[in-house]
């Protein structure tokens, strides 16, 4: 049984075993491959005609016509299409084939050709191929069997292309999330020597690091004695987030600043205790007001020294 993980992993790095699994998942058997390979020369004969009809069809749409405005682009794409058809009917479905499918998927994605356009065009293409087979292959039954075999491969192709779309989309979303997590966490100077940092959202490891750096830089540039980290807006705290907070506080202490944490919600408090985080090392106060009172106390103690 194929796991989702195997389906999701990079096709380029597919091992032979994984490719075998993918082929058997699509029920592509040796008989299919042999059948397709047996008509390689016939396919070569009609590929030009099919490709011509394919582009006549596509180019009747304005969007596509714009895309292939120059004659040279169109020629290049047609050559690519012919090469694709040659590979599809060559009967060799190895790592190189899968990597090439992925590359084509990426090109479509970049060109803004979405799944609907892609699959729609593919259907037209397969239809033309089917008609050619019906005319050129011995019996209708043989033509039908051939077409069924081709359909299996075509569907695997489409699956790979869709996978590429999804992966590309995921990469985009991740980049956007990165960007959002890099939204500067404001470090506010409440008064001379006292900084307030309202932490909002999710503290993933990347964001926690940039928060630490921003804080330490602010301590230096604003000559802070005390900083109040308010985590009212943090949705969840696990041991990693707690660890980051502890490390930030230790680093701040090394730079001569005391840290105070405020705004721990009841559920966060319970979770931290149950996980086993030593809460005494987190200098915590119930709310911001208390936190500021403690900050004042520390600062006046410093002044008296």
Partner 1 sequence: MADLRSSLRVTIARDADVVAARQRGRAVAAEVGLSRPDQALLATAISELARNVVNYAGRGEALIEAVSQVGRRGVLVTVSDNGPGIDNIEAALSDGFSTGGSLGLGLPGARRIVDEFDIESKPGEGVRVRILKWA
Work out whether 250 is an interface residue with partner 1 (CB under 8 A). no
CA distance 277 to 281: 9
Q: How far is the CB of 54 from partner 1 (least distance, A)?
A: 36
In the set 1, 4, 69, 116, which binds partner 1 (CB under 8 A)?
4
Distance of closest approach, residue 29 Cβ to partner 1, in angstroms: 28
Identify whether the C-beta of residue 74 lies closer than 8 Å to the C-beta of residue 55. Answer: yes
51 is a contact residue toward partner 1 (CB under 8 A): no
The answer to whether 193 and 226 are in contact (CB under 8 A) is yes
Q: Which of 17, 112, 184, 276 binds partner 1 (CB under 8 A)?
A: 276
- 18/278 Cα distance (integer angstroms): 46
Residues linked to residue 262 through DSSP beta bridges, in sequence order: 230, 285
Closest approach of Cβ 223 to partner 1, in Å?
Answer: 31
In degrees rounded to 5, what are phi and psi of residue 220? -70, -50
Interface with partner 1, residue 175, by CB under 8 A? no
**Which residues are CB-neighbours of 102 under 8 A, at least 6 positions away?**
11, 12, 160, 163, 164
Residue from 177, 189, 210, 212 touching partner 1 (CB under 8 A): that is 177
**Would you state the structure tokens that stand for residue 49, as one six-digit string?**
């005609």
Cα–Cα dist 48/83, whole Å = 11
Stretch binding partner 1 (CB under 8 A), from 53-61, 185-193, 226-234, 239-247: 239-247
Contacts with partner 1 by CB under 8 A lie at 4-5, 8, 174, 177, 202, 204-206, 236-240, 242-243, 246, 266-268, 270-271, 274-277
């Amino acid at each position: 049984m194929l796991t989702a993980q195997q389906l999701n992993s990079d096709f380029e790095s597919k091992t032979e075993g994984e490719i075998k699994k993918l082929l058997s998942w699509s029920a592509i058997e040796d008989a299919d491959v042999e059948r397709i390979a047996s008509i390689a020369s016939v396919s070569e004969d009609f590929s030009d005609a099919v490709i011509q009809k394919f582009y006549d069809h596509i180019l009747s749409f304005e969007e596509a016509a714009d895309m292939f405005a120059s004659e040279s682009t169109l020629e290049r794409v047609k050559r690519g299409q012919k090469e694709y058809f040659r590979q599809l009917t060559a009967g060799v479905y190895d790592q190189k084939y899968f990597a090439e499918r992925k590359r084509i998927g990426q090109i479509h994605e970049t060109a803004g050709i979405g799944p609907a356009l892609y699959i729609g065009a593919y259907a037209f293409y397969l239809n033309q191929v089917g008609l050619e087979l019906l005319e050129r292959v011995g019996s209708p039954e043989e033509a039908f069997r051939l077409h069924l075999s081709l359909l299996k491969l075509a569907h695997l192709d489409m699956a790979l292309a869709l996978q590429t779309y999804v992966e590309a989309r995921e990469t985009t979303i991740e980049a956007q999330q990165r960007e959002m997590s890099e939204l500067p966490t404001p470090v506010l100077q409440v008064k001379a020597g006292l900084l307030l940092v309202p932490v909002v959202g999710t503290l993933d490891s990347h964001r926690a690091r940039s928060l630490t750096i921003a804080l330490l830089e602010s301590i230096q540039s604003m000559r802070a004695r005390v900083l109040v980290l308010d985590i009212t807006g943090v949705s969840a705290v696990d041991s990693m987030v707690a660890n980051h907070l502890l490390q930030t506080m230790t680093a701040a202490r090394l730079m001569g600043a005391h840290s105070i944490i405020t705004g721990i919600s009841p559920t966060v408090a319970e979770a931290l205790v149950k996980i086993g985080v030593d809460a005494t090392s987190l200098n915590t106060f119930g709310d911001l007001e208390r936190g500021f009172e403690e900050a004042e106390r520390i600062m006046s103690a410093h002044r008296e020294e």
